[in-house]
Structure 1
């Protein structure tokens, strides 16, 4: 556990249930007496809100422009929100972080996972989550859950989302000490229980 707080990121494809699990985890940790900051990317700051509108709801943009805007959002988010909260000893829970850019822009957009990873790490000053929870969901199921398309990335075809999913799973398998890979087809309460079990094992809650 970090001496200056604990940092959790939730990752996965669109419709996987990240936001639900982030809220459930925040409530559980607060109930256990922890001070919690719940946030999201893109967004989480005034600048991030403006960037979110551009990258998710704006006109078509070049893939490299897209990844740079996501990096700018993360840089502002870490400097203004995440790093101060960790320094204050809080548990920070973010809905998406660096791995989303690596999966979506690096893998699915074909910009190169290693290149995008290096850029994102530079933007966040090498701040890595203590635990990254990947909720894995088949792309067809994700599309069914999303229903009406809300943003540019959600509107991409199943091949795009399949590439995103494959990269998330590969990252989780590659570093099981830092990742928790969960089956998104499981019930929400089952996923929540598995997350709490991992946090107890890591000493975040008793």
Structure 2
């Protein structure tokens, strides 16, 4: 990966705000002369679209089918978007990566770790930094209820608690835990400052 390219991943349970935050971080980095591409998983590939339908609660998939589709979609994501961008010296700011798959599809912490290793064994690139938007399952549920809209596949509070525990077990030691209850602008600025510091240290 060229020195000018970096890979930043935003993770969190549903309702933690990672899509909004990662998009705003990407926009702010562009204004600071850090050319980057905002990317998210699941992608718009045929596998990704099937997953989105499932996540919206429109279709049913067994845990095995879910995992298989996530891995297939990630291969498309890595080969068609992430690696080409990194090879061209561009930075990627990404909403969800294989930590999500491990946390959501893992039945428990041990199973989540197995799924993480499965992704690492495929040689998917490791991010330079992971930002975990930290929000308790109770607060996240409250946010999702306020937001309204359709009930999704993992909306149940018990499910979100399992996912949260799995995340804590599998996130890399270098993960930056960000208080997702803080003001949006503060959260975005905090992440951008950390990214700029990391980039300047690597040059």
Q: Pick the aligned partner of 1:196 from 182, 192, 197.
A: 192
Aligned to 2:127: 129
2:54 corresponds in structure 1 to 55
For 2:199, what is the secondary structure of its paired residue?
coil
Change (3 A) 1:175 1:107: farther
Which residue of structure 2 lines up, in the alignment, with residue 120 of structure 1? 119
Aligned match of 2:74: 74
Q: CA deviation at 1:189?
A: 1.4
Distance 1:127 1:102, change over 3 A: same
Q: For 1:34-53, what aligned pairs fall within 5 Å after superposition? A: 34-43=34-43, 45-53=44-52
CA–CA distance in structure 2, aligned partners of residues 159 and 2 of structure 1? 42
Corresponding residue for residue 84 of structure 1: 84
Asked if the contact 2:106–2:166 (Cα under 8 Å) also holds between the matched residues in 1, the reply is: no
Q: Distance in 2 between matches of 1:25 and 1:137?
A: 19
RMSD: 2.4
Confirm or deny: 8 A CA contact 1:4 1:87 kept in the other structure. no
Please point out which of 127, 143, 147 is paired with 1:145. Answer: 143
Measured in 1, the distance between the counterparts of 2:106 and 2:154 equals: 16
Partner of 1:119, secondary structure, is helix
SS at match of 1:203: helix
The reply on whether 1:25 has 2:20 as its aligned counterpart is: no
Unpaired stretches in structure 1, ≥5 consecutive residues: none
TM-score, scaled relative to structure 1: 0.85
After TM superposition, give the deviation of residue 86 of structure 1 in Å.
0.7
